[in-house]
Structure 1
Amino acid sequence: MADTTASSPAGNCLERLKSYTKTQKGFILATEILISLIILICYASSMYGGYSAVAICEMVFATIMFIVFMMELDKQFQVVHWVWTDLIRAAIGAALYLITSLICVIQGAGDGARIAGGVFGLLAGLLFAYDTYTIYLQLKNSRGHSAASTDDRV
């Protein structure tokens, strides 16, 4: 008979997903993915669907970072500095969302879906900016503790 008490890989992945989503970083990334999906739907249903590229790219990048941090791949693949990668991703996402959302809100007269996407984009820009700030604080705090003394006289 098969052992029914052993945890399956799918169950383990689901437990990791639940526990990581409860952390601050996991909640921020999950919210970024969700709001990018909402923006994508709004932009895709508007008359000008060209702005959906920003939402697609940011949703894909946030999903990749969510999976990397959830599965703790950042500890296995140390060739890439994952925190700096996440900082650059969040900073670029904040800038792109703020720029495109302002354009959509200002020029979106008569297109309610475009204006709604712009409003959600402004909220996403603020969320990505907050994520950038939290990552910056994480880098600032870890920078002072990671340096080792190179003094040969000791």
Structure 2
Amino acid sequence: MRNTDETDGFDGEASNTSMISGASSPYQPTTEPVRSRNVLAGIRCDNEYLRSNFGVLKIIEVVLALISFICIETIMMCLPCGGVYFFEFVSCSTFVVTGVLLLLFSLNLHTKVTHINWNLTDLLNTGISTFSFFLASLVLVALNHTSGAEIAAGIFGFLATAVYAFNTVLALRRLRQGGRPSVGQTGDYTRARTTSRGEVESQPELH
């Protein structure tokens, strides 16, 4: 039968051994909370952009490109068909590209990709679309102007050309100014930086 001293000594040695083994174990429990990464963080509908000049122009461009594509698709017979096919390609491609850019800008998805100059990308898109729509509409009106669908497609094509041209002028002016954000965007950017850095505005003491 073991006495009390032997039992206490054994318990103390066991506790010390467990503490040493626990300290030397590479699998230590952590007290830091595990934060789940939200992939969709920052994705929201930017109503300010949709109400701006660029947002309104993007919406009009998408609508006009879609209407032009629908009009050209209703043509059942064409002779010659080169102008129809070219207009069909231009209206469809501009609708897709401009629609994608509208989606990226309106949901702030472009802020996730910082290595792309989005102002230059928008300028290139509007400039190429202006030239393409003008050329396609001119060829369509010159070669195919017998049916109502061909005439309607040409009219909407020239309207889209005008809107894209105006957007190109605004995009070029913005690019020359260095792409400075608007007042509302500057305020949001400053607040985001202040929150991320943990900066607290100093308030005057009341005497």
TM-score by length of 1: 0.78
Which residue among 56, 66, 73 is the counterpart of 1:44? 73
Q: CA deviation at 1:21?
A: 2.3
Q: Which of the pair has more CA radius of gyration? A: 2
Checking the alignment, whether the CA contact within 8 Å between 2:119 and 2:179 is kept in structure 1 is no
Separation (CA, whole Å) in 1 of partners of 2:57 and 2:63: 10
Map residues 4-153 of structure 1 onto 2, 5 A cutoff.
16=45, 18-46=47-75, 47-48=77-78, 49-50=84-85, 51-142=87-178
Aligned length: 132
Query: SS of the residue aligned with 1:79?
Result: coil
Q: CA RMSD in A?
A: 2.1
Match of 2:35 in 1: none
Checking the alignment, whether the CA contact within 8 Å between 2:46 and 2:108 is kept in structure 1 is no
Query: SS of the residue aligned with 2:178?
Result: helix
Q: CA deviation at 1:73?
A: 2.1
Separation (CA, whole Å) in 1 of partners of 2:126 and 2:145: 29
Q: CA deviation at 1:76?
A: 2.0
Q: CA deviation at 1:60?
A: 0.6
Unaligned runs of 5+ in 1: 1-8, 145-154
Query: SS of the residue aligned with 1:78?
Result: coil
- AA aligned to 1:119 is I
Which is richer in helix?
Answer: 1
Separation (CA, whole Å) in 1 of partners of 2:60 and 2:124: 18
Q: CA deviation at 1:19?
A: 4.5
Match of 1:3 in 2: none
- Hey, which bits of structure 1, 4+ residues long, moved more than 6 A? none
Q: CA deviation at 1:33?
A: 0.5
Q: CA deviation at 1:23?
A: 1.6
**Closer, same or farther: CA 109–67 of 1 in aligned 2, 3 Å:** closer
CA deviation vs aligned residue, 1:15-60 (integer Å, no higher than 9, x gap): x265432221111000000000100011101234512111110011
Between the aligned residues of both structures, percent identity stands at 24
Q: CA deviation at 1:141?
A: 1.0
Q: CA deviation at 1:110?
A: 1.6
- AA aligned to 1:66 is L
- AA aligned to 1:37 is L
